[in-house]
Amino acid sequence: MTDQDPEAVPNVCAVVVAYNRRDLLAEVLAALRTQTLRPARVVVVDNDSDDDSADVAASHPEVDVVRLTRNTGGAGGFAAGLAHALEQDPTWVWLMDDDTVPEPAALAELVRVATQAHAVVAGSRVVWTDGSEHPMNTPRENPFAPSPQREAARVAGGLDVRSTSFVSMLARTAAVRRRGLPVADYFIWNDDFEYSTRLIRGARGIHVPSSVVVHKTKAPASTDVDPGERFFHEVRNKVWLFARSRSLTPREKIVYGGSTLRRWVRTVARSNDRALLLRCLLRGLRDGVTTAPRANVRSLAGLGATTTAVERAEAARG
């Protein structure tokens, strides 16, 4: 996808997870084709869409389409897409949803700043359609980073962060191979928080303001604005993360755990259906304590070539 010397161009594979948003997916793929640094390949994971999203993706010769026979959620989609991307052995993988439209220099800036800062993960500045900062994807400086590390990030043109989202996440393939794939059983919510913190732990993550993507949600709202039934996944997955994941240190779990409790109280208090959210809260706490996420080879079983790719990726981990 580039006319430049292949030896001088970073080998990047973009991974896009799609579900029933064929027009937005077409816009995302068009934006990937106009990047100043274009991905070598693009993997589109179609999560068993009811529309023709898979056919839209297949109409682009540079796209490898992964057609899943069931909806595995964002978490399963990114685990599947990363497993397929690893088989192409890129230097970097660039993850995004099908409502994430990157500006032309988005990838080039991610690679430039991440390379200069020696970061394993980099995230873009996320704006809504009117150009304002999207509250769903607001970066927060790593409160645990030493001052020299924060200063190095600023010198590189970024902000040292402890986590980032799947709304434009660049990750070094070496880190992915070492730390594994996202946990598919999270399905939705907190999958990117768990995964990015897992990749960044003991390394560096950086937010890159000069890399801009447009997150085309229906409204510029944060995730704590009346989430409805999805609040179950927020609660269960956070309990799983704090109790079972090694993405955070014990100290970090205390700090982020306190922040999570405050957020839950605020979410319920602001809701127009507190009874529903309280039921989701109790069910999420129960399932988070009494169950554990399955290994990806089990939760993504029965998906043919994708299952095989996941098995290979997990077997090669480390």
Q: Give the pLDDT confidence score for residue 224 in this predicted structure.
A: 63
Q: Give the pLDDT confidence score for residue 318 in this predicted structure.
A: 64
C-alpha span between 139 and 134 (Å, rounded):
10
Write the CA distances from 120 to 113, 145, 176, 238, 269, integer angstroms.
Answer: 11, 15, 9, 23, 38
Q: Give the pLDDT confidence score for residue 196 in this predicted structure.
A: 97
C-alpha span between 169 and 192 (Å, rounded):
9
Task: Name the 3-class secondary structure at 63.
Answer: strand
**Which residues in the chain show pLDDT less than 70?**
1-9, 222-225, 318
Q: Give the pLDDT confidence score for residue 138 in this predicted structure.
A: 83
Q: Give the pLDDT confidence score for residue 4 in this predicted structure.
A: 43
Residue ranges with strand state E in 75-143: 92-97, 100-102, 121-127
Q: Give the pLDDT confidence score for residue 168 in this predicted structure.
A: 96
Delineate the domains of the chain, giving CATH numbers in brackets. 12-221+294-315 (3.90.550.60)
Q: Which tokens belong to 279?
A: 């039921």
* Tokens 């089990």 belong to residue: 298
Q: How would you class 80 by CB atoms within 10 Å of its CB: exposed for 0-12, middle for 13-18, buried for 19 or more? A: buried
Q: Which of 51, 151, 37, 157 minimizes the C-alpha distance to 98?
A: 51
Q: Give the pLDDT confidence score for residue 137 in this predicted structure.
A: 83
